[in-house]
């Protein structure tokens, strides 16, 4: 029990040291790390209802995102990765296959030959986003 209390105090201290001075007042009165973490989590992620609304909005953004005429495929892919990162921050997984498919159906028709080659030679369900980079 004494060891756990010591670890909790150390964790609370680390949390307090790691956050910005403007945020510190929000957790300065808490007495344990769990309460500090819960306060910060609700502050920045919101409650379940807020999370569900944000996830719905992000999911819609993912589905509707299109490449701009003046945009490179690499820049477009970066925008998709940003939305995916935000979705994953709310603890919702988006499978790599879906991200790759989104990229393949969204890129300009001038890349059709490449898309067809990828679709015919690769099993999309085994590709990983980290190894599948557009350039």
| DSSP SS3 for 22 | coil
pLDDT digits (tens, 9 = 90+) for 74-122: 898 889 989 999 898 877 888 888 888 888 888 778 888 888 888 888 8
DSSP-derived secondary structure letter, 122: S
Whole-number Å distance between alpha carbons of 96 and 112? 21
pLDDT at 132 over 60: no
| Beta-carbon contacts of residue 11 (< 8 Å; ≥ 6 apart) | 33
* pTM exceeding 0.75: no
| b (16+ CB within 10 A) / e for 8-28 | eeeebeebeeeeeeeeeeebe
pLDDT digits (tens, 9 = 90+) for 21-79: 888 888 888 999 999 998 888 777 667 777 888 889 999 999 999 888 888 888 988 89
42 to 26, 55, 67: CA distances (angstroms): 11, 15, 34
| DSSP SS3 for 2 | helix
Whole-number Å distance between alpha carbons of 9 and 15? 10
Q: Which residue has the higher pLDDT, 135 or 30?
A: 30
Q: How many CA atoms lie within 13 A of 45 on its CB side?
A: 18
């Amino acid at each position: 029990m004494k060891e756990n209390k010591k670890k909790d105090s150390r964790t609370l201290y680390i949390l307090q040291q790691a956050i910005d001075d403007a945020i510190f007042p929000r957790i300065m009165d808490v007495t344990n790390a769990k309460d500090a973490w819960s306060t910060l989590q609700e502050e920045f992620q919101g409650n379940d209802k807020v999370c569900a609304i944000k996830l719905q909005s992000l999911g819609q953004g993912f589905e509707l995102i299109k490449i701009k005429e003046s945009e490179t495929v690499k820049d477009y892919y970066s925008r998709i990765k940003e939305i995916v990162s935000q979705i994953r921050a709310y603890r919702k997984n988006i499978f790599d296959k879906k991200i790759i498919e989104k990229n393949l159906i969204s890129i300009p028709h001038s890349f059709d030959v490449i898309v067809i080659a990828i679709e015919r030679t690769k099993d999309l369900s085994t590709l990983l986003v980290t190894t599948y980079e557009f350039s």
